[in-house]
Amino acid sequence: MSQPVEANTGAGQSGREQQLLDVLSAFEDAHFNQDAEALEQPLANNVVQHADRIVTDHDRSGPDAVALFFAKYYANYKFKHFPVVRAVNATTNSVYCLWDDEDVIMKPESFDEELPASGSVTSLSGIWRLVMDDSLKVKDIWFLRQLTREEKKHRLHYRPSQLYSDFHAKSLVGPTLDLSEKQIAKMHAAAEAFNEAWRMGDPSSVHDLLAPDCHTVNPIFGDKKASRQEWEETLKDVFRFWQVKSNTVDIAVTPSSNKAFIWWHVQGVQKDTKQDNDMYGLNLLVFDAHNDMLIKGKLPPVPYIVGYRQPLQSEVEHIFKAGSYQDKLSEVGSPKKGQAPVGEAGQGAQAETGA
């Protein structure tokens, strides 16, 4: 059984919240056991796995297409899955998990002669948000994760060392806290303020929220900032060429720890290229649990922020090649040299992936 490193009990845990977390547990257990059939069980008939434009460049619709995506990963890779932090927002039927896949390596029978990275061990981290319908079936999967070595070789225009990060989700484990509803509400309000700063392009509203030495990391693109000042300068720089048209947000706070998840979906215009952008991201705010302000019901500063996001359209064109490495793989291993990748032989595969 897959067990989160951080517990998920705490103040305010309702029956509905536990039901939602049970669905997440079933999904996580299936991924831990690399069992695509079990992973398909909690999926709704109209489920959509939303494209991250990094691992995959198109949505997958329906349980068969979603299960196939994971089945290919399981058939071609060995790994150890560790869910690290989980949270739930019962109002939106949403559950979140920050996780690591460790010792990720392509299976020997799947080595791709055209991709020299095959056979090299790596680790991945990611976040997914599952949204349930009223019958507790998963209808939306939003996910962002790092690339495997082979995916980098296949997807990147330039050197495979691009998009490198040494981030590991396990580094954020603990501590276990017993938070009151008031404390949870304060953390939720802080997450809303953080999102508002990005919506308005104004860092002043969260200046006191962030610790002076606040570290931020983007595990996918490898960006790191080592202070609040650097983060504030980055936000200002972004809004010199970025205009927000709409911003939607969902937030979930861990009831027994010091973290808050933020899912955001933004539409806007990149001013320098005049390109419209529609993108989403998944963030994690880590509050200072060693500061007694949290224990006293006040809001402590945020010393660490993790931010996953989709690429801008200009980044897609500059960094990524067309086509998903997952579409290249078969359910029983990579195609041999000269063999047509899955999805190119006929229309059946296209329908299967929901394209």
Angle (CA) 285 47 9, round 5°? 40
Is the confidence at residue 291, as pLDDT, over 80? Answer: no
Length of the chain: 355
8 Å CB contact between 140 and 248: no
More confident residue, 243 or 114: 243
Whole-angstrom distance, CA of residue 343 vs CA of residue 355 = 10
3-class secondary structure, 25 = helix
What is the average pLDDT score of the chain? 85
**Residue 163: predicted pLDDT:** 79
3-class secondary structure, 97 = strand
Percent residues over pLDDT 70 in the chain:
83
User: Hey, what are 37's tokens?
Assistant: 């059939």
**Residue 72: predicted pLDDT:** 94
Angle (CA) 11 14 17, round 5°? 110
Is the confidence at residue 31, as pLDDT, over 80? Answer: yes
8 Å CB contact between 61 and 48: yes
Average pLDDT over residues 40-50: 98
Structure pTM? 0.87
User: Hey, what are 63's tokens?
Assistant: 């349980």
Beta strands in 117-174 (DSSP E): 122-132, 138-145
Q: Which residues contact 290 (CB under 8 A, 6 or more apart)?
A: none
- The full set of domains in the chain, from first to last, is 15-171 (3.10.450.50), 174-316 (3.10.450.50)
User: Hey, what are 167's tokens?
Assistant: 């981030």
Whole-angstrom distance, CA of residue 181 vs CA of residue 173 = 22
Q: Is 138 exposed, middle or buried (0-12, 13-18, 19+ CB in 10 A)?
A: buried
Q: At 257, phi and psi to the nearest 5? A: -150, -160
34-38, 55-59, 318-322: range with lowest mean pLDDT = 318-322
**Residue 337: predicted pLDDT:** 38
Is the confidence at residue 94, as pLDDT, over 50? Answer: yes
8 Å CB contact between 101 and 81: yes
Q: Are strands 77-89 and 138-145 parallel, antiparallel or unpaired?
A: unpaired
**Residue 314: predicted pLDDT:** 86
Whole-angstrom distance, CA of residue 40 vs CA of residue 63 = 6
Average pLDDT over residues 306-328: 87
